[in-house]
């Protein structure tokens, strides 16, 4: 059974892309349940290495950060900071709008926007979106009582380590969790075609990771998550996606 942790088919209706969370055509949304499973598998590996406590999670191909934002609602207490970067500036603009929904002022702005749409068009979809936004607000009120989640976004090519280092500005990465392009909806932007893009990504991330950091990559079967400096610590497959968790040797 591929799902070990996100085993229950929870009702993810409030998280649907385009309802409260923002989406745009051409910016694929990573499934909420799968990102939760990947994250919990990373936490299990951390626990096996004696590591606990809230962590800093980074996605260097974050797209519109839909998946990171939904992950935050599900796993707030396990997260201290969420960081995203992408080579596409429009994706970062979309990601900023989604990260804003992790704050009460940002979510209140979204609620006001949906209320305006509902008044103007009286559509059932807007009424449902308002209901979801209010339910997310109730949850966010509880979550932010414990702590505020820090977020950080920047524009960068994942294959340029120096640019990543500048964007991260000394922040320590505990978990990298990413859904890399596989050509169906998004493609790699790659300057050097001599080496596979996933290898180049791992090479570029290598010096930026905390000791015992975990790198979880979801890709299609044609892309191998291999690099001599990393060892695979877990892998699983769900549908067409293969997920590999690695650590630096």
Ligand X SMILES: C[S@@+](CC[C@H](N)C(=O)[O-])C[C@H]1O[C@@H](n2cnc3c(N)ncnc32)[C@H](O)[C@@H]1O
Query: Residue 144 Cβ, how far from ligand X at the closest point, in Å?
Result: 23
Q: Which residues pair with 228 in a beta bridge?
A: none
Which member of 67, 126, 227, 242 binds ligand X (CB under 6 A)? 67
How many residues sit close enough to ligand X to count as binding (CB under 6 A)? 25
Query: Residue 63 Cβ, how far from ligand X at the closest point, in Å?
Result: 3
181 binds ligand X (CB under 6 A): yes
Query: How are the residues of the chain apportioned to helix, strand and coil, as percentages rounded to the nearest 5?
Result: 45, 20, 35
Which member of 37, 78, 86, 174 binds ligand X (CB under 6 A)? 86
**Helix runs in the chain, H state only:** 32-48, 66-75, 89-100, 104-121, 124-146, 161-168, 197-205
168 binds ligand X (CB under 6 A): no
Query: Residue 66 Cβ, how far from ligand X at the closest point, in Å?
Result: 4
| Span near ligand X by CB under 6 A; candidates 56-64, 74-82, 101-109, 161-169 | 56-64
167 binds ligand X (CB under 6 A): no
**Geometric angle at alpha carbon 52, from 48 and 57, rounded to 5°:** 100
Q: Can you tell me which residue has the tokens 């396990």?
A: 78
15 binds ligand X (CB under 6 A): no
63 binds ligand X (CB under 6 A): yes
* Nearest residue (CB) to ligand X, 21 versus 130: 21
Query: Residue 146 Cβ, how far from ligand X at the closest point, in Å?
Result: 25
Task: Compute the half-sphere exposure of residue 214: CA atoms within 13 Å on the CB side of its CA.
Answer: 26
Residues numbered 90-119 forming contacts with ligand X, rule: CB under 6 A:
91
Strands 241-248 and 209-219: antiparallel
Residues numbered 144-163 forming contacts with ligand X, rule: CB under 6 A:
157-159
Which tokens belong to 150?
Answer: 């820090």
Report how far apart, in Å, the C-alpha atoms of 110 and of each of 78, 97, 100, 105 are.
25, 9, 9, 9
- The interface mask with ligand X, positions 182-211, x = CB under 6 A, is ----x-xxx---------------------
Phi, psi for residue 194 in degrees, rounded to 5: -70, -30
Chain residues that interact with ligand X, rule: CB under 6 A: 27-30, 60-67, 86-88, 91, 157-159, 179, 181, 186, 188-190
């Amino acid at each position: 059974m591929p799902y070990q942790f996100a085993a229950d088919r929870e009702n993810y209706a409030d998280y649907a892309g385009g309802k409260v969370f923002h989406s745009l055509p051409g910016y694929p949304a990573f499934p909420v349940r799968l990102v939760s499973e990947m994250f919990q598998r990373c936490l299990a590996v951390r626990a096996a290495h004696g590591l606990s406590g809230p962590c800093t999670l980074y996605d260097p191909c974050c797209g519109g950060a839909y998946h990171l934002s939904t992950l935050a609602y599900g796993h707030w207490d396990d997260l201290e900071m969420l960081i995203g970067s992408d080579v596409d500036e429009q994706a970062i603009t979309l990601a900023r709008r989604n990260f804003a929904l992790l704050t009460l002022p940002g979510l209140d702005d979204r609620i006001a926007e949906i209320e305006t749409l509902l008044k103007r068009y009286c559509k059932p979809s807007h009424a449902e979106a308002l209901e979801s936004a209010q339910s997310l607000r109730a949850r966010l009120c509880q979550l932010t009582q414990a702590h505020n989640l820090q977020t950080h976004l920047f524009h960068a090519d994942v294959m340029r380590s120096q640019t990543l280092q500048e964007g991260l500005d000394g922040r320590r990465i505990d978990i990298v969790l990413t859904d890399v392009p596989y050509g169906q909806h998004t493609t790699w932007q790659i300057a050097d075609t001599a080496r596979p893009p996933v290898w180049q990504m791992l090479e570029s991330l290598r010096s930026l990771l905390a000791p015992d950091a975990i790198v979880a990559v979801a890709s299609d079967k044609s892309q191998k998550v291999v690099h001599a400096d990393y060892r695979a610590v877990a892998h699983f497959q769900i549908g067409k996606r293969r997920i590999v968790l690695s650590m630096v040797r």
